[in-house]
Chain A
Amino acid sequence: MIKSLDPRVTRENIEENNLIAPLTPMDNWETYEVFHQKKRGDQHMHVGIVHAPNPEMALLFGKEQYGRRSITANIWVVKTANVFASEYDDADMFETTPEKQYREAGGYKVMDKINKYKKANKA
Chain B
Amino acid sequence: MYGNAYIDPNEKANAMIAGEDPIKLAEFEARIARGEKIEPKDWMPKEYRKQLIRMIEQHGHSEIIGALPEGTWITRAPGFRRKMALMAKVQDEVGHAQLLYSAAETLGKSREDMTNDLITGKSKYSNVFNYPAYTWADACIIAWLIDAGAIINQVANAKGSYGPYCRALDRICTEESFHLKYGHDNVVTLATGTPIQRQMVQEALTRWWPPIMHFFGPSDKISQHSEILMRWKVKMASNDDMRQQFLNMYVPKIWDLGLVLPDPNLKLNEETKKWDYTEPDWEEFKRVINGGGPCNAERLAVRRMAEERGRWVRKALYNATEKYVTPLA
Contact = CB atoms under 8 A, between A and B. Distances in A.
Say what secondary structure dominates the interface of chain A.
loop
Say what secondary structure dominates the interface of chain B.
helix
Given A69-B175, A81-B323, A33 B302 contact: no
A107 interface: no
Chain B: interface residue count, which band? 35 or more
Contacts, number: 120
A12 B120 CA distance: 20
Nearest to A31: B327
A81 B302 contact: no
Given A49-B102, A49-B327, A28 B111 contact: yes
Contact of B298 (A4, A46, A83): A4
Interface string B165-203: 001100100110000000000000000000000000000
Contacts of A31: 102, 105, 324-325, 327
Interface of B: 39, 41-42, 72, 75, 91-92, 95, 98-99, 102, 105, 110-113, 115-116, 119-120, 132-134, 167-168, 171, 174-175, 297-298, 301-302, 304-305, 307-308, 311, 314-315, 317-319, 322-329
Given A14-B301, A27-B112, A53-B322, 11 more contacts: A2-B297, A5-B134, A20-B307, A22-B120, A23-B112, A28-B111, A29-B314, A48-B99, A65-B98, A65-B99, A88-B41
Interface of A: 2, 4-6, 8-9, 12, 14-20, 22-31, 33, 46-51, 53-54, 57, 64-65, 68-69, 79-81, 83, 85, 87-88
